Amino acid sequence: MTIAAKLRFSYLVLGMLALVIGVLGHREIMRVGDEFDYAVNRTQPVVSTLQEIRYQAMRVEAAAHGHHWNEAASDEGPAANAAIPPLDALVKADERYRELMNRYFANEQDMAKPVHASVANLHALARKHEQAGATSTRQADVERDKALNALLLAVDTALQCESAELEEYQETVTTTVAEHARTVAVGTALAMLATLLGGIYFSRRLTRPIVTLRNVAIGLGGGNLELRAPITSRDEIGELAGAFNDMAQALDNTMVSRQHLEAIIDSMSEGVLVIGASGRIKRANRRARELFHAPGETLAGKSAAELLPAIADWFASPAGIPDTAIREIELPGTSGTPLSLLLAVSPILDGNTMSGKVLTLVDIGERKRAEAEIRARAEEFHRLNRRLEQTTAQLLQSEKLAAVGQLAAGIADEIDSPIGFVNGNLGTVHKHLRKLLQVLAVYERHEAVMRHDAGAAREINDVRKGVDVDQLKEDSVALLRESRDGLTHVRRIVQDLEEFSHPANDDWQFADLHKGIDSTLNIVWNEIKCKATLVKDFGLLPEIECLPSELNQVFMHLLVNAAHAIGDKGTITIRTAAIGSDRVAIEIADDGKGIAPGHLSRLFEPFFTTKPAGQGSGLGLSLSYGIVRKHRGTIEVDSTLGKGTRFRICLPVRQAPEAVLNESA
């Protein structure tokens, strides 16, 4: 019998025994492992949900310490509804916990009942104090803290129970695996001993060189690449020892660089798969094994088409995998969420021959989530922008009404003065007419005989001496004209006031800016006339496409601010001019006290004002800025302390069609 036959026989017996023992042990270990996996799969979601409940409870506590519960029902201030989101999340987490307990631990509901009761109690307290409003704040804090402590205690108790159950399962698995490991070890040792005793009879002379060769192999496997097997014969053992020594030398030459390269590849954060020409995996680094949920396997020899169904079309194509390509794919994740990966293909060249492909897998899940978050934030921004536009419109109307109230006294004075002189003129006209009627009565009484009666003629002459009939006629006409003009002025003021105070629901239209400025001046004239001289330097302007009432609001704010900036007496100048054929400019300047340089950058911020408390809302210029931007225009300010301020507004003659459509929508 040759050495090869003897070795085959010995290894066959040893292999069969090891196979039987290994298969039996593997089956038992797999059974215990499956039981442990089942226990973990039942317990892990429950533990995660309990941790979620604890986290949401701490969020509720943090939110409550920042804002009392009575603020949750308020519509005022930025803290409105501060505690509701985490409370709702807590209730949802409790519902998931209840569902998991009913699904996996229907007979172990006792440890879940305190958690459910505490969540329900906390939710009831929140609703109770929300309905109670701003009363009993200290009582609310005490009750809430008590409910939160009870909930956290119940959650900790449940977590301890789940952890204890997992530890019990783990201890059982560890014990079972250890027992079967000992059984396998004992069985293997017995098999080796039996094989050794059976082979002693016909291989005694071969034992020593084989043992020596085995020891050298073990040393090489342990990393001692300098060991060599002694050659004591010229038979197969000697040839094997020589070949073994050659292999050890070659391995010694290449192992250092290979180990370094493998360490680099295994340290990469990207998954790397080396695929041979047959389409099977030859090498997979640590990250690739993790991505395919096989951290303890090599993946070598497996079909790449089976592991990567997302690129099955490449394998089905006659051309096979492209030499260079990039594709986004998805792999199943451990938590059920797909992993988004970027797969890149590169060729492996051996000289001019391509021996395989390298597939690089880059996790782009974070990028995907960031993109999704950006899209969500963009949608939220658009939603908030729409709400801001609605709020701005409401503030604009409120500011109009506030301005109307501020100017009401002056407007009443403007209306009262024309009515006063109209009434006075009408009284004078009445007196003149009475005298004129007396003259006419005398004429009528003596008209028939005045030519023959000298006394009548004298009476008429006496009356005419005291009354200037021609002057009466002229005065009557003039006074009546002034009365009509005064009434017209009153009517114009009232009409301008009504138009200004009406909500801005007009559409985009072409309007005369000079007419709008004059209309606004009628409204604010009482604020200006006692403080400033008005200078109007109007250029030749085309009608522009605008929302007239909103631009009148801007003119009103700038004119009133100019009047307020002037002390005893000053000048307000309004200039208009065309800028080319497509833009117009409006300047409103005063020679008042000016604005400090440090305030210029904040001038258009909402609620910022340089006026004393109670004399300004801080919204006028902010709303004006928004209206000008809405018209696709610009507003600039130039001010010098002690010399005055100039506001310059530039507006387009025509609005872009899409701008008009967006604003109308």
Most confident by average pLDDT, 67-76, 265-274, 498-507, 512-521: 512-521
**Cα→Cα distances 374→366, 368, 531, Å:** 12, 10, 54
* Alpha-carbon span 60 to 654, nearest angstrom: 54
State the first-to-last Cα distance of the chain, in angstroms, to the nearest integer: 99
Cα 36 to chain centroid distance, Å, stands at 42
| Segment holding 610, helix H or strand E | none
Each residue of 230-256: pLDDT tens digit? 777 777 777 777 787 888 777 777 766
Model pLDDT, residue 75: 39
Burial class (CB in 10 A: 0-12, 13-18, 19+), 205: exposed
- Beta carbons within 10 angstroms of residue 553's beta carbon: 24
Partners of 363 in beta bridges: 341
Least confident residue range of 187-191, 370-374, 473-477, 521-525: 473-477
3-state secondary structure of 395: helix
Write the DSSP assignment of 188-222 as a string of letters.
HHHHHHHHHHHHHHHHHHHHHHHHHHHHHHHHHHT
Amino acid letter, 432? H
Q: Sorting pLDDT into bands at 50, 70 and 90, what band is 39?
A: confident
Each residue of 516-547: pLDDT tens digit? 999 889 888 888 888 889 999 999 999 999 99
Which of 576, 589, 523 is closest to 552 using CA atoms? 523
State residue 354 phi and psi, 5-degree precision.
Answer: -90, 115
Q: Kindly tell me if the per-residue pLDDT of 84 is higher than 60.
A: no
Region of 580 please: left (phi>0), alpha (psi -120 to 50) or beta: left
Q: Kindly tell me if the per-residue pLDDT of 58 is higher than 70.
A: yes
Q: Sorting pLDDT into bands at 50, 70 and 90, what band is 74?
A: very low
Q: Kindly tell me if the per-residue pLDDT of 498 is higher than 90.
A: no
More confident residue, 202 or 87: 87
3-state secondary structure of 523: helix
Model pLDDT, residue 478: 67
Tell me what the mean pLDDT of segment 269-298 comes to. 78
Each residue of 207-218: pLDDT tens digit? 777 777 778 778
The two most distant CA atoms of the chain are separated, in Å, by 188
Model pLDDT, residue 474: 67
How do strand 634-640 and strand 570-579 relate by DSSP bridges? unpaired
**What's the mean pLDDT when you consider all of the chain?**
75
Burial class (CB in 10 A: 0-12, 13-18, 19+), 549: buried
Asked if 144 contacts 69 with a C-beta cutoff of 8 angstroms, the reply is yes
* Alpha-carbon span 294 to 267, nearest angstrom: 17
Burial class (CB in 10 A: 0-12, 13-18, 19+), 523: buried
Amino acid letter, 339? L
* Alpha-carbon span 537 to 585, nearest angstrom: 12
Q: Sorting pLDDT into bands at 50, 70 and 90, what band is 83?
A: very low
More confident residue, 156 or 80: 156
3-state secondary structure of 541: coil
Asked if 121 contacts 147 with a C-beta cutoff of 8 angstroms, the reply is yes
Most confident by average pLDDT, 58-67, 207-216, 373-382, 471-480: 373-382
* Alpha-carbon span 60 to 39, nearest angstrom: 32
More confident residue, 164 or 21: 164
Each residue of 633-653: pLDDT tens digit? 999 999 988 899 999 999 999
Each residue of 122-160: pLDDT tens digit? 878 877 777 766 555 677 778 778 888 888 888 888 788
More confident residue, 49 or 30: 49
Q: Kindly tell me if the per-residue pLDDT of 292 is higher than 80.
A: no
Each residue of 578-602: pLDDT tens digit? 999 999 999 999 998 888 887 777 7
pTM of the model: 0.34
Angle at 473 between CA 468 and CA 476, to 5 degrees: 120
* Alpha-carbon span 96 to 103, nearest angstrom: 10
* Alpha-carbon span 342 to 76, nearest angstrom: 48
Q: Kindly tell me if the per-residue pLDDT of 95 is higher than 50.
A: yes
In sequence order, what are the residues at sequence separation of 6 or more whose Cβ sits closer than 8 angstroms to the Cβ of residue 335? none
Burial class (CB in 10 A: 0-12, 13-18, 19+), 406: middle
* Alpha-carbon span 457 to 466, nearest angstrom: 15
State residue 539 phi and psi, 5-degree precision.
Answer: -90, -175
- Beta carbons within 10 angstroms of residue 386's beta carbon: 11
Region of 329 please: left (phi>0), alpha (psi -120 to 50) or beta: beta
